[in-house]
């Protein structure tokens, strides 16, 4: 991730500001406020603003006048209870706003979560940077045979080199053609004074999906936790998962009590179907349950065994 001197100066100026407030603040999050957290080769996330703290969740749940209860242990117990029993509205009282730089194909997957306020960089108005995502060699997975959305074994040797070369060459060529059609470079300088150039809203369609875009993304805590439970999961696509992992780290700085409950009940927890619960009970009673006697499909059985750390 590279920042221009102007971008670094802007961030430093924001971080140098100090404002007196009566609002609740999260000291650990204040320490990383505005600072970019690198993700992938050119991407980042950074926290721009936030509202509320752990005590705000407790305050909303009890509809109290003060900041939660007198004992942090009591607050932690209530937050864990709320999360465990899916009481969602107290978590909607906290909000956070991120600035995210990400590949376009990741953004198109991310935008399926329609519970945030989003404002994306406009390629109708501005020229996108000559930056594009190229995976690390250890991320060049083959198509999984068991999961149409997943990856299998990693490509190696000449085939991996060939794929990486194609990705770089295609992105470079398409971006060069993008500039030619615009008759402008990324700094807005004319390439040929005798040509008008194509409109930006049309020229952008030539860019590859690994080109980078940016947006501001504001979301309440309840919907953020839902997003993170899906995208910070080991089964999520790597390129969106690394963004979610970085956001989980900001959650730890922002709401340490909620973070602990989230890790315990969402990330580290397990939701069982009625059939799955019945199988676990039978196993606890000493019965040797198989897929054939479980009343579960092969896929359900495989997923349950994987969750329990057993051979399918």
> What Rg, from alpha-carbon coordinates, does the chain have?
24
| Domain 1-133+210-269 bears CATH identifier 3.40.50.12160 | no
Between residues 101 and 269, which one has the greater pLDDT? 101
Please report the pLDDT score of residue 168 as a whole number. 97
Is the confidence at residue 217, as pLDDT, over 60?
yes
Number of helices (H), then strands (E), belonging to the chain: the values are: 12, 7
Residue for token pair 């204040």 = 30
200 catalytic residue (yes or no): no
The alpha carbon of residue 146 and the mean position of all alpha carbons in its chain are separated, in whole angstroms, by 25
SS3 of residue 73 by DSSP: helix
Please report the pLDDT score of residue 2 as a whole number. 77
- CB contact at 8 A, 77 and 61: no
Nearest to 163 by CA among 137, 130, 143: 137
How far is residue 62's CA from residue 1's CA, in Å, rounded to a whole number? Answer: 44
DSSP state string for 273-312? -HHHHHHHHHHHTT----TTTTT--HHHHHHHHHHHT---
Q: Tokens representing 3?
A: 């920042």
In DSSP terms, which residues pair with 95 in a beta bridge?
51, 220
How far is residue 154's CA from residue 139's CA, in Å, rounded to a whole number? Answer: 7
Is the confidence at residue 268, as pLDDT, over 90?
no
How far is residue 291's CA from residue 297's CA, in Å, rounded to a whole number? Answer: 7
Looking at residues 1-10, what average pLDDT do you find?
86
How far is residue 248's CA from residue 229's CA, in Å, rounded to a whole number? Answer: 10
Looking at residues 148-171, what average pLDDT do you find?
91
- CB contact at 8 A, 45 and 100: yes
Please report the pLDDT score of residue 311 as a whole number. 83
Question: How many residues are listed for the chain in this entry?
Answer: 312
Using one digit for the tens of pLDDT, what is the confidence trace for 98-141?
A: 999 999 999 999 999 999 999 999 999 999 999 999 999 999 98
Please report the pLDDT score of residue 69 as a whole number. 52
How far is residue 236's CA from residue 69's CA, in Å, rounded to a whole number? Answer: 37
Residues 6+ away with beta carbon under 8 Å from 28: 252, 253, 254, 256
Q: Tokens representing 114?
A: 């329609």
Q: What is the mean pLDDT of the chain?
A: 92
Looking at residues 297-305, what average pLDDT do you find?
92
Using one digit for the tens of pLDDT, what is the confidence trace for 33-85?
A: 999 999 999 999 999 999 999 999 999 998 876 665 556 668 899 999 999 99
Q: Tokens representing 127?
A: 């020229």
| pLDDT more than 70, % of the chain | 97
Please report the pLDDT score of residue 278 as a whole number. 95
Kindly name the residue from 200, 204, 231, 266 that is annotated as catalytic: 231
Is the confidence at residue 298, as pLDDT, over 70?
yes
pLDDT band at 3 (very low <50, low <70, confident <90, very high): confident
Residue for token pair 């899916």 = 86
How far is residue 41's CA from residue 56's CA, in Å, rounded to a whole number? Answer: 36
């Amino acid at each position: 991730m590279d920042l221009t001197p102007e971008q670094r100066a802007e961030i430093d100026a924001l971080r140098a500001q100090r404002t007196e407030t009566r609002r609740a603040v999260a000291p650990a999050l204040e320490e990383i406020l505005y600072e970019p957290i690198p993700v992938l080769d050119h991407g980042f996330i950074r926290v721009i603003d936030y509202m509320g703290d752990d005590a705000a969740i407790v305050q909303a749940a009890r509809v109290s006048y003060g900041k939660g209860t007198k004992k942090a242990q009591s607050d932690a117990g209530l937050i864990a209870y709320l999360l465990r029993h899916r009481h969602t509205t107290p978590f909607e009282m906290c909000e956070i706003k991120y600035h995210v730089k990400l590949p376009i194909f990741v953004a198109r997957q991310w935008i399926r979560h329609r519970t945030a306020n989003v404002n994306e960089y406009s390629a109708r108005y501005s020229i996108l940077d000559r930056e594009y995502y190229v995976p690390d060699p250890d991320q060049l997975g083959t198509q999984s045979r068991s999961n149409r959305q997943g990856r299998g074994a990693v490509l190696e040797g000449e085939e991996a080199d060939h794929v990486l070369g194609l990705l770089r060459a295609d992105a470079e060529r398409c971006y060069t053609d993008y500039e030619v059609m615009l008759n402008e470079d990324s700094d807005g300088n004319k390439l040929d004074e005798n040509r008008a150039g194509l409109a930006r809203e049309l020229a952008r369609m030539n860019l590859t999906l690994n080109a980078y875009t940016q947006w501001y993304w504001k979301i309440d805590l309840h919907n953020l936790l839902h997003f993170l439970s899906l995208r910070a999961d080991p089964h999520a696509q790597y390129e969106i998962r690394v963004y979610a992992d970085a956001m989980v780290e900001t959650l730890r700085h922002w709401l340490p009590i909620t973070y602990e409950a989230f890790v315990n009940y969402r990330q580290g927890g397990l939701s069982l179907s009625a059939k799955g619960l019945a199988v676990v009970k039978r196993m606890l009673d000493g019965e040797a349950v198989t897929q054939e006697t479980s009343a579960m499909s092969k896929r359900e059985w495989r997923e349950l065994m994987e969750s329990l750390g057993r051979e399918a």
